[in-house]
């Protein structure tokens, strides 16, 4: 069964550093997403991406966040200057249609120290 692949699975970074989280969505999917889950809380939407541009973003997705699809397979989330409160599990997801079923990756656990 096709999978969404995320790397790395764990990342520890110092406050103020930039991090890039990487995702390879399912190859024939057109819609891409990032979500995050702070420990013990529910999963929250960050951003959706379609046709090489952001289609929706939440209030969490401020200027320190950016997304990119640098080639035909990768989808990245960059956090420019990490804060302690950015510590969370970050999930990438993709879907073939706007309202179709999402497939989530296994997540990247980001710890900011």
Partner 1 sequence: GIQVEQSPPDLILQEGANSTLRCNFSDSVNNLQWFHQNPWGQLINLFYIPSGTKQNGRLSATTVATERYSLLYISSSQTTDSGVYFCAVGGGTSGSRLTFGEGTQLTVNP
Binding site residues, partner 1, CB under 8 A: 31, 33, 35, 37, 42-45, 48, 55-56, 58, 89, 91, 95, 98-104, 106-107, 109
Helix or strand run (H / E) with residue 37: strand 31-37
Which segments of 2-113 does DSSP mark as H helices, in order?
Answer: none
**Residue 112: HSE in the Cβ half-sphere, 13 Å Cα cutoff:** 19
Beta carbon of residue 5, minimum distance to partner 1 (angstroms, whole number): 12
Q: Tell me whether residue 58 or residue 71 sits nearer to partner 1 (CB atom).
A: 58
| Least Å from the CB of residue 55 to partner 1 | 7
The H or E element containing residue 49 is strand 44-50
Nearest-approach distance from CB 107 to partner 1, in angstroms: 6
Please, which residue, 41 or 71, has the CB nearer to partner 1? 41
Q: Please give the C-alpha separations between residue 108 and each of 38, 68, 70, in angstroms, as whole numbers.
A: 12, 17, 19
Nearer to partner 1, 48 or 87 (CB): 48
- Residue with tokens 């960059």, as numbered in its chain: 78
Nearer residue to partner 1 within complex by CB, 33 or 65: 33
């Amino acid at each position: 069964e096709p999978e969404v692949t995320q790397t790395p699975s764990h990342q520890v970074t110092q406050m103020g550093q930039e991090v890039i989280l990487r995702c390879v969505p399912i190859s024939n999917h057109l819609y891409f997403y990032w979500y995050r889950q702070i420990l013990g809380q529910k999963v929250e939407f960050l951003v959706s991406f379609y046709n090489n541009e952001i289609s929706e973003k939440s209030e969490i997705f401020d200027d320190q966040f950016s997304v990119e699809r640098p080639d035909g397979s990768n989808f990245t989330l960059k956090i420019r200057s990490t804060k302690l409160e950015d510590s969370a599990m970050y999930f990438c997801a993709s879907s073939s249609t706007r309202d179709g079923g999402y497939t989530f990756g296994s997540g990247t656990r980001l710890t900011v120290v």
